[in-house]
Homo-oligomer: A and B are copies of this chain.
């Protein structure tokens, strides 16, 4: 199996888990211990750049605890010329529990794979 096949397979597993509401299982099974996660913007609760499986697991738990997910769809993986990269398109309909505000979001996740594990995720947000 070439490394690009491997990357595509990891992408397929991640998309399937996200579409089954098992985002945390994707973190637990597909992510490297030294995962780097980079958002477009940071906040007081969540810095833009976080490192390490414990921090990223905590970030995901925080997110699920603080949002009610009405609908969520992941499409992908999208694979290009790089053997170590795939992209996923996400669409979500969520209510932020603290504010009660409901909004529809779209983003692209860019994932980097090394030695069979996701070592970096970057999120690009749809501009209004």
A75 cross-chain contacts in B, Cβ below 8 A: 106, 126
Q: How large is the interface on A (under 10, 10 to 19, 20 to 34, 35 or more residues)?
A: 20 to 34
- Cα distance A63–B88 when bound, in Å? 25
Number of this chain's copies in the assembly equals 2
Contact status A80-B110, CB under 8 Å: yes
Q: Choose among A40, A79, A108 the residue with the greatest number of B CB atoms under 10 Å from its CB.
A: A108
- Cα distance A126–B12 when bound, in Å? 10
A64 cross-chain contacts in B, Cβ below 8 A: none
**Which chain A residues (44-91) contact chain B, with CB distance < 8 Å?**
48-49, 75-82, 85-87, 89
Q: A127 within 8 Å of B by Cβ?
A: yes
Extra contacts, 20 of them, besides A78-B124, A80-B108, A87-B110 (Cβ < 8 A), are: A11-B127, A12-B127, A38-B80, A38-B81, A40-B79, A40-B80, A40-B81, A76-B127, A77-B127, A78-B125, A78-B126, A78-B127, A79-B124, A80-B123, A80-B124, A80-B125, A82-B122, A86-B124, A87-B108, A89-B106
